[in-house]
């Protein structure tokens, strides 16, 4: 029952120490059968209430009792993708879903998000921003990973992209050190979110306010000037919980790239009554680095992979975000969740001008590489191009979750509406020296748009173990491009060119989930993928609309999830993504494969597989060992129509493997090893094998990356001390991660760090 004495539907009740689980019905009732006499604990959890438990002593064949939730769950207010009770959700989700848990993050001690994301089945990571993953390049099932354009990326349910509709690039990556867990949903449940859902939905979940006052302090350092300082404190008093996290992260020495990151996150959650709660979140992020698009030529890479010809390039990122969440329990069977969010991102990037070949009459500041090899040299000018961009985004969203009856069947409906407004200001400023951050405004424009969407999906239970989930989402995006200044006959001139357009798309989906036994879930689904065209691609500089339709695809899945009581978990999924019209945008970050074209139809087919072994459950001994293998086989990722018909897509390796194993001792010692293999891949649409002198084209060979972490916990009364060490790229393998944006991007070199965590 809830605090008011009303029945709570679909609460999860576990019978401990067994693994038996039951769910309450519409009357709030549950049962367990065939139990032996003895001591048990009933643990009840629900998405909306704090967990409760009761100890029972079973002496007879039947016993009944009442479980009552004492209070509304205060700590968790934000919207999730999988849900804050993932074990419950994964039994019913009619599609593939992955979760990087709090425990895995604690064991891996990752240095960036790329490190953990690359181990998820179906995911391929392209690194091009140094050893801390400051720019996310996530590809799903053979989709181009360039700036994660085909993936909706969220933090606590709020979009993270520069502009979710018109500029979906990920130039900001939330620091993984402040995350509690990471969710990735690729199946038909994606239609509850949008836009950019062709690849799926990635959601970073931050820590909730703790139930009692506690704090943490972490200090770490290592090679190449690496330093991490992080402190957090929070607690709950009466009906209010709070949490504050402050982080500083910096380093230098990798390709002469330095970086400094400051991040502040604060949460305040409060229960307004026993049926409603309010949550506020604030995040302030700044970054300064000399990140660059310019990679290495082939001669540079062979001579010194740590080289950087343009150390004066400079990127400054500033992102301020705030959100307000409200959850109202309308009844034991209906919850209304609403949110308002706003964020602003400023991204100013100074990059030194260069040529690939000497221009007649030009004078160069320096030459890098080998001029004797065609394309093997970079001719550096004493001038700069400053790409200064600012984005403002605000949105309102409301969702209703409701249990109801449909034609006599139990059903769980979720419906919602959202409006997002976005405005982008884009300037190109030419500097007279390679270190100039000001100069002549060559290009100046404002782009804005509004996205209105609504969805409804209903999970219909034909049986307690069989459900079908039909759904429909409608997206409408109206946008405008206003050009204020551009080059006319190669001379910057003030202009006034304005043009807009509208894209409207219905997005249907259908999924099914079946549990033939309690530990096995079989699922299948189909849904429509959707991604609107970028505004600057859809409207030309002459003010002409190219009438680019939204990118769309049909995504099919069939698979199973299985959990054995003795410590085996397994998931396998067969997938097909059938692209009707893949638009390849002309972006500098995309490299050689991104001239603005309609790439036509593409087909992606493969299998994802993962198995987790918990050795204590298998052997019956408290060994503390665990092993997990994750594998993606992508035999088909190719153009099926158009000018590249039959060619394999760039940055779509056929085989990706992830292996992790570790040991946890009951006295606090732990060691963890993980390795990821990325198969060979092409860097352009023509599937060129021979590398070009400038490094932008050619086969990207396969590579393994291994990581090691080890630590020990010491508990002293209320203080826990954990010293640890990590070694990233344990074997110091030299590998090419990418040939984009502008040349060879070497992967992370070996990085050894040591640190100390304090919890009090």
Nearest one of 760, 736, 754 to 128, comparing CA atoms: 736
Give me the number of domains the chain comprises: 2
DSSP 236-277: EETTEEEEEEEEEEEEEEETTEEEEEEEEEEEEEEESSSSEE
Contact between residue 449 and residue 478 where contact means Cβ atoms under 8 Å apart: yes
* Residue 596 confidence (pLDDT): 44
Q: Which two tokens stand for residue 132?
A: 């801390």
Residues 6 or more apart in contact with residue 80 via CB below 8 angstroms: 157, 183, 203, 205
Domain match, 233 and 379 both: yes
List the domain range (segments joined by +) for residue 13. 1-71
Domain match, 394 and 246 both: yes
What single-letter DSSP state applies at residue 588? G
* Residue 77 confidence (pLDDT): 66
CA 217 to chain centre: 26
704 occurs within a structural domain:
yes
Q: Measured on CA atoms in the order 294, 224, 145, 499, is the torsion positive or negative?
A: negative
Q: Which two tokens stand for residue 520?
A: 């096995």
CA distance 424 to 446: 6
* Residue 536 confidence (pLDDT): 79
Number of H helices, E strands in the chain: 6, 39
Name the residue with tokens 């259908």: 510
Which residue positions in the chain have pLDDT lower than 70?
1-10, 17-21, 23, 25-27, 33-36, 46-50, 60-65, 67-79, 83-92, 129-131, 543, 546-549, 565, 581-600, 617, 620-623
Domain boundary at 33, 50, 71, which? 71
Torsion of CA 592, 593, 595, 597, to 10 degrees: 170
Q: What is the CATH number of the domain that holds 519?
A: 2.40.170.20
Cα 387 to Cα 391, 437, 716, 735, distances in angstroms: 13, 10, 52, 30
102 occurs within a structural domain:
no
The three-state DSSP-derived secondary structure of 118-137 is CCCCCEEECCCCCCCCCCCC
* Residue 516 confidence (pLDDT): 87
What is the three-class DSSP state of 556?
strand
59 occurs within a structural domain:
yes
Domain match, 66 and 207 both: no
The continuous run of DSSP H or E covering 485 comes out as strand 466-488
162 occurs within a structural domain:
no
Name the residue with tokens 């593939």: 96
CA distance 539 to 464: 51
State if pTM tops 0.85: yes
DSSP 409-421: EEEEEEEEEEEEE
Q: What is the CATH number of the domain that holds 12?
A: 2.60.40.1120
110 occurs within a structural domain:
no
Nearest one of 631, 7, 700 to 295, comparing CA atoms: 700
Backbone phi, psi, residue 296, to 5°: -105, 145
196 occurs within a structural domain:
no
CA distance 9 to 29: 8
* Residue 683 confidence (pLDDT): 93
CA distance 375 to 357: 7
Domain boundary at 71, 99, 128, which? 71
Domain boundary at 71, 101, 133, which? 71
CA distance 723 to 253: 25
* Residue 50 confidence (pLDDT): 65
182 occurs within a structural domain:
no
Burial of 701 per CB tally in 10 Å (0-12, 13-18, 19+):
exposed
What is the three-class DSSP state of 150?
coil
Contact between residue 610 and residue 631 where contact means Cβ atoms under 8 Å apart: yes
The continuous run of DSSP H or E covering 617 comes out as helix 615-619
What is the three-class DSSP state of 166?
coil
129 occurs within a structural domain:
no
């Amino acid at each position: 029952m809830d605090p008011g004495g009303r029945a709570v539907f679909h609460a999860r009740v576990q019978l401990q120490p067994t693994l038996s689980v039951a769910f309450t019905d519409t009357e709030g009732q549950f049962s367990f059968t065939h139990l032996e006499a003895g001591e048990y604990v009933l643990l009840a959890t629900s998405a909306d209430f704090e967990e409760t438990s009761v100890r029972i002593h079973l002496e007879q064949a039947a016993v009944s009792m009442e479980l009552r939730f004492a209070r509304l769950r205060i700590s968790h207010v934000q919207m999730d993708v999988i849900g804050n009770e993932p074990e419950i959700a994964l039994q019913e989700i009619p599609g593939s879903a992955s979760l990087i848990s709090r425990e895995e993050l604690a064991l891996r001690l990752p240095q960036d998000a790329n490190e953990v994301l690359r181990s998820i089945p179906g995911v391929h990571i392209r690194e091009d921003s140094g050893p801390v993953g400051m720019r996310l390049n996530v590809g799903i099932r053979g989709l181009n990973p360039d700036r994660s354009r085909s993936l909706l990326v969220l933090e606590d349910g709020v979009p993270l992209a520069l502009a979710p509709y018109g500029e979906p690039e990920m130039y900001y990556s939330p620091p993984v050190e402040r995350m509690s867990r990471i969710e990735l949903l690729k199946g038909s449940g994606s239609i509850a979110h949008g836009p950019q859902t062709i690849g799926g939905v990635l959601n970073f979940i931050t820590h909730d306010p703790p139930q009692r006052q506690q704090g943490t302090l972490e200090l770490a350092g290592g090679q190449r000037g690496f330093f991490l300082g992080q402190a957090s404190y929070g607690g709950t008093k009466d009906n209010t919980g709070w949490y504050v996290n402050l982080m500083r992260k910096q380093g230098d020495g990798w390709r002469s790239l330095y970086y400094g990151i400051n991040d502040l996150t604060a949460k305040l959650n409060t229960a307004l009554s026993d049926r409603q709660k309010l949550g506020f979140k604030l995040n302030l992020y700044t970054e300064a680095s000399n990140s660059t698009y310019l990679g290495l030529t082939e001669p540079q890479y062979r001579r010194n992979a740590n080289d950087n010809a343009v150390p004066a390039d400079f990127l400054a990122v500033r992102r301020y975000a705030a959100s307000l969440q409200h959850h109202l329990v309308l009844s034991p069977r209906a919850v209304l969740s609403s949110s308002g969010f706003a964020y602003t991102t400023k991204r100013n990037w100074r990059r030194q001008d260069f040529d690939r070949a000497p221009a007649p009459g030009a004078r160069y500041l320096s030459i890098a590489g080998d001029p004797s090899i065609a394309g093997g040299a970079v001719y550096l000018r004493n001038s700069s191009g400053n790409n200064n961009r600012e984005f403002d985004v605000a949105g309102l969203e409301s969702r209703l979750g409701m249990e109801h009856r449909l034609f006599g069947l139990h059903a769980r409906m979720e419906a919602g509406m959202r409006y997002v407004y976005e405005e982008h200001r884009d300037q190109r400023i030419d500097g007279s020296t390679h270190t100039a951050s000001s100069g002549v405004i060559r290009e100046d424009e404002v782009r804005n748009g509004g996205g209105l969407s609504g969805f409804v999906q209903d999970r219909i239970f034909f049986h307690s173990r069989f459900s079908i989930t039909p759904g429909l989402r409608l997206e409408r995006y109206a946008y405008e491009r206003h050009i204020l200044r551009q080059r006319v006959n190669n001379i910057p001139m003030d202009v006034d060119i304005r043009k807009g357009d509208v894209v409207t798309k219905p997005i249907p989906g259908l999924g099914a989930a079946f549990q033939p036994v309690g530990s096995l879930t079989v699922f299948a689904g189909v849904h429509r993928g959707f991604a609107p065209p970028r505004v600057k691609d859809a409207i030309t500089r002459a003010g002409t609309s190219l009438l680019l339709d939204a990118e769309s695809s049909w995504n099919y899945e069939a698979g199973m999830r299985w959990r054995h009581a003795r410590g085996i978990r397994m998931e396998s999924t067969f997938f097909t993504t059938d692209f009707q019209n893949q638009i390849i945008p002309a972006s500098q970050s995309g490299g050689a494969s991104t001239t603005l074209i309609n790439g036509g139809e593409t087909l992606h087919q493969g299998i994802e597989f993962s198995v987790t072994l918990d050795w204590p459950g298998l052997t019956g001994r408290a060994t503390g060992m665990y092993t997990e293998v994750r594998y993606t086989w992508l035999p088909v990722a190719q153009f099926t129509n158009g000018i590249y018909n039959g060619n394999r897509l760039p940055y779509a390796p056929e085989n990706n493997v992830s292996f992790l194993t570790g040991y946890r001792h009951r006295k606090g010692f732990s060691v963890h090893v993980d390795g990821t293999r990325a198969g060979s891949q092409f860097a352009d649409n023509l599937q060129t094998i021979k590398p070009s002198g400038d490094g932008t084209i050619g086969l990207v060979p396969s590579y393994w990356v291994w990581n090691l972490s080890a630590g020990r916990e010491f508990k002293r009364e209320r203080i826990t001390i954990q010293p640890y060490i990590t070694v990233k790229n344990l074997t110091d393998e030299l590998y090419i991660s990418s040939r984009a944006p502008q040349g060879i991007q070497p992967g992370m070199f070996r990085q050894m760090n040591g640190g100390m965590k304090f919890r009090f």
